[in-house]
A = this chain, B = another copy of it.
Amino acid sequence: MRNMKLFEHEAKEIFRKFAIPTPPSGVARTPDEARERAAEIGRPVVVKAQVLTGKRGKAGGVRFADTPERAASVAEQILAMRINDLPVETVLVEEKLNIRQEIYVGITVDRNERKYVVIGSAAGGMSIEELAEESPEKIIKRYVDPDLGLQPFEAREIAIAMGFRGKQIHGLASFFVKLWRIVTQYDVELTEINPLILTEDGRFLAADARLNIDDNALYRHKDLVEALRRAPVEQNERERLAAEHDMAYVELDGDIACICNGAGLTMATLDAVALHGGRASTFLDLGGGADAKRVEKGIEIAMMYPKVKAILVNIMGGITRCDEVAKGIVSAREDGDVKVPLVIRMVGTNEEEGQRILQEAGIPFLKTMEEAAAKVVELVKEAA
């Protein structure tokens, strides 16, 4: 599911609006700011890299500091890091908690049930995927009735099933109830608190925060997008361009760019390249009904990725017309965009006219996916 991921500090700001308890914290973009934040908190802190990727802890992006000075120095180290190839531009400086227990809670869409599912575990602090694999019995899952939404009694039942008793039932249940309000209000696709901390003195606090919002629903949340003052998703220039033109674009480790119409066909084309011993560099889905300009733009974007050594265009003409595709390819080549071998396969609507245009331009084309995949792999191997 495509979604807008919020940074921990952004998610926590929303959490606080819904009265979810979080430790005192502040954002810093420089070591000096980190020192100030730590001084304001006035107690030992944890300095956390703000990156939209998991495993930041293992990568060294989460460090403790007993003094403001120490906070500044660890912030300096973290701000210099790249985690999973993403730069760390901000850190969150947050009070270090006295931890009695680390808990996991989350709500996400279950695509198979077509319902939201609430997930909780008294054994938090690790990824829910690992936990699910290693100790599935420690994970409590409850589907949410789409008519009623999550009711407080269900939140309590989950807390009880997680093993909590007494007042802690209410304390923990309120997290689910509040997260549910956030989920419904903001079209949330996934929200997690991991770890949710039970402190030595018996309070529950959200020590981390993940909040991913359904991209398709962002039009309903313009205020939020504006408030964040940033693009919805971290992207490189090529990804940004593709998104701007509403093309699905993913970069991979191989060297053959596959430009197709339709996600399933594009995936199948990648698979066909692999079956013939090649490796794809690019998944580029032009979508339905692409015209010549769109095809040309797609080729242009694909060529921007340095790893690309050949291009395979595979079009199944339906709404998309082969003559338009041919025109776009010819135009891209004439502009000098295409500096690598180009293999074309296209069938369907206006196939003959498209073939004629390619033939006149001296561009060969093939009739089947398999031939095209074999050919493009062969060309890359020849070039090597």
Query: A-side interface residues toward B, CB under 8 Å?
Result: 147-148
Docked complex Cα distance between A197 and B147 (Å): 35
Within the complex, the shortest CB–CB distance from A299 to chain B, in Å, comes to: 41
What chain B residues lie within 8 Å of A147 (beta carbons)? 147-148
Docked complex Cα distance between A147 and B145 (Å): 10
- In the complex formed, the residue of B with least CB distance to A147 is B147
What chain B residues lie within 8 Å of A148 (beta carbons)? 147
Q: Give 2 CB contacts A-B under 8 Å.
A: A147-B147, A147-B148
- In the complex formed, the residue of B with least CB distance to A148 is B147
Within the complex, the shortest CB–CB distance from A184 to chain B, in Å, comes to: 12
Within the complex, the shortest CB–CB distance from A70 to chain B, in Å, comes to: 43
Within the complex, the shortest CB–CB distance from A174 to chain B, in Å, comes to: 16
Docked complex Cα distance between A302 and B148 (Å): 45
Within the complex, the shortest CB–CB distance from A264 to chain B, in Å, comes to: 32
Docked complex Cα distance between A147 and B148 (Å): 7
Q: Which 2 pairs of residues, A with B, have the shortest CB-CB distance?
A: A147-B147, A147-B148
- In the complex formed, the residue of B with least CB distance to A145 is B147
Docked complex Cα distance between A147 and B147 (Å): 5
Docked complex Cα distance between A147 and B146 (Å): 9
Within the complex, the shortest CB–CB distance from A185 to chain B, in Å, comes to: 12
Docked complex Cα distance between A148 and B149 (Å): 11
Within the complex, the shortest CB–CB distance from A189 to chain B, in Å, comes to: 22
Within the complex, the shortest CB–CB distance from A115 to chain B, in Å, comes to: 14
Docked complex Cα distance between A148 and B146 (Å): 9
Docked complex Cα distance between A367 and B24 (Å): 68
Docked complex Cα distance between A147 and B149 (Å): 10
Within the complex, the shortest CB–CB distance from A221 to chain B, in Å, comes to: 16
Within the complex, the shortest CB–CB distance from A361 to chain B, in Å, comes to: 49
Docked complex Cα distance between A105 and B352 (Å): 60
Docked complex Cα distance between A362 and B102 (Å): 71
- In the complex formed, the residue of B with least CB distance to A146 is B147
Within the complex, the shortest CB–CB distance from A8 to chain B, in Å, comes to: 29
Docked complex Cα distance between A148 and B148 (Å): 9
Docked complex Cα distance between A281 and B117 (Å): 58
Docked complex Cα distance between A173 and B86 (Å): 47
Within the complex, the shortest CB–CB distance from A151 to chain B, in Å, comes to: 14
Within the complex, the shortest CB–CB distance from A244 to chain B, in Å, comes to: 30
